[in-house]
Amino acid sequence: MFESPAEALKYIADHDIAMVDLKVVGIAGQWLHITIPARNFTQEHFDEGVRYDGSSGAGFGKVESGDVAALPEPETAFIDPFWEHPTISFLCGTVTADTKQPLAADPRTIACRAVAYMRASGSADEAWMGPEFEFHVFDRVEVLNEPYYTSVRIQSSEVESDGTTAPISLKRGYMRVPPAEHLHDLRSEICMTLDTMGIAVCYHHHEVGAPGQCEIEIDLDTLVRVADRTMLIKYVIKNLARRHGKLATFMPKPVFGEAGNGMHVHQKLEKGGKPIFYDEREKNYANLSDTALHYVAGLLRHGAALTGLTNPSTNSFKRLVEGYEAPVNLFFSLANRSAAIRVPRYAISPKDKRIEYRPPDFTGNIYLTLAGMLMAGLDGIQTKLNPADHNFGPFDVNLARQDEAFKSRITPLPRSLYEAMDALAQDHDFLLKGEVFSEAFIDAWVATKRADETDEIATRPHPYEYQLYLDT
């Protein structure tokens, strides 16, 4: 929004801004914020930042000192539409409290380092990416998790008819129209709000999931900027849902037996202002260039390890199962939605040629997810990996209908968070190139996920276990 701190300060003074909100991203991927009265906000805040305890909510204390500062970025400013008093928000990088150097563990800094490494390597100048936003909007969610009382109650008017409209049947929500679908106006309001904030939406629609599953799609943008926009889009969706008395969630698998929420990420590279994923000679599959095929092979070669960043929750692997258009194997194909990488059939021009990596979901930190995928793809380019040499395809077939001999040659994605963290622990050298990620960061990430999520959930009785074993 602004090119300099001076321009930002002038806008604040000229537009009766009451509050300045600084937003930082924690390691787990959540936004945290601190608010300063606008009359006290000065150039010093841009120079020195605002000190905060990075160990309390952001998680930086697990890998570095907890004494950090939020340093606002003028170009990321937006008028926050959800506060009663006029408020301008800045996204912030996290820096050390004393030297003001970028914190090595700050996710946004890691994403910036990945882009810098890409440019320094000579592989490309820009990485363009575009997540698809799949989410559920429920009328109400009640969760009880006590030793003697465990329950989840989800209410959705789209599957619980009030007698005036028919409910949407299981997995029959795709592109439904009113009156069966109830969320069109909410999605339109989300899109119009994003438009006022400079984010153009390509389209929105009801997704496959009957109980309020939605999709919003945006254009591709450069890596760090699209990560910033992803955080903002989630923020808008959740807050507007709340205004309507509903709850929006990006949880990968909120309802058993229904479609889950993925985060398919469209990707392409540019060099010298020209797209480099397109092969005009038509010698390669789907007009993909050699560079694109190497990038694809890198993503698939490190796909198991990437799930430790792109799918870092136990719930992630309840989505990555067969039968729900979710990928479970590492191969690529043209327009095949069961593939880990889909080459969109409609992206036929040099400018539009891209690949779509389908395993990720929104439990990952968007900055780490995008940085990790870029580093895997760059590793494929640098080592000139060929997908066919590793049996990554292309396979234009339905794998579920192939014989066991064929299936046995396909590399599967991890089936649990345990497996994903093991894969990341064993295969992360590609992330350490250019000091984009650090060994300490990966170690802390794996240890935290194992202890705080995997182990905690593994030791808790599940309600279905009572149905199976109560009469033992």
Residues taking part in catalysis: 53, 132, 134, 207, 215, 264, 337, 356, 358
- Residue 131's DSSP bridge partners are 265
Check the CA dihedral 315-320-326-329 and report its sign: positive
Instruction: List C-alpha distances in Å: 446 to 30, 376, 443.
Output: 18, 18, 5
Any idea of the CA torsion for 391, 392, 394, 400, to the nearest 10 degrees? 90
Instruction: List C-alpha distances in Å: 260 to 64, 67, 316.
Output: 35, 38, 9
Instruction: List C-alpha distances in Å: 29 to 88, 164, 310.
Output: 21, 41, 11
What residue type is 48 in one-letter code? E
CA 466, CA 472: separation in Å to the nearest integer?
A: 10
CA 161, CA 154: separation in Å to the nearest integer?
A: 14
Beta strand ranges found along 147-226 (DSSP E): 149-155, 201-206, 213-218, 221-222
31-37 and 19-25 beta bridge pairing:
antiparallel
What does 251-290 look like in DSSP terms, one character per residue? -S--STTS------EEEEEEETTEE-SB-TT--SGGGB-H
332-334 and 341-343 beta bridge pairing:
parallel
CA 109, CA 425: separation in Å to the nearest integer?
A: 22
In three-state secondary structure terms, 118 is helix
Q: Which residues contact 181 (CB under 8 A, 6 or more apart)?
A: 158, 168, 173, 206
In three-state secondary structure terms, 232 is helix
Query: Could you count the other beta carbons within 10 Å of the beta carbon of residue 32?
Result: 17
Instruction: List C-alpha distances in Å: 456 to 30, 314, 422, 426, 448.
Output: 20, 10, 17, 23, 11
Q: Which two tokens stand for residue 238?
A: 């959740």
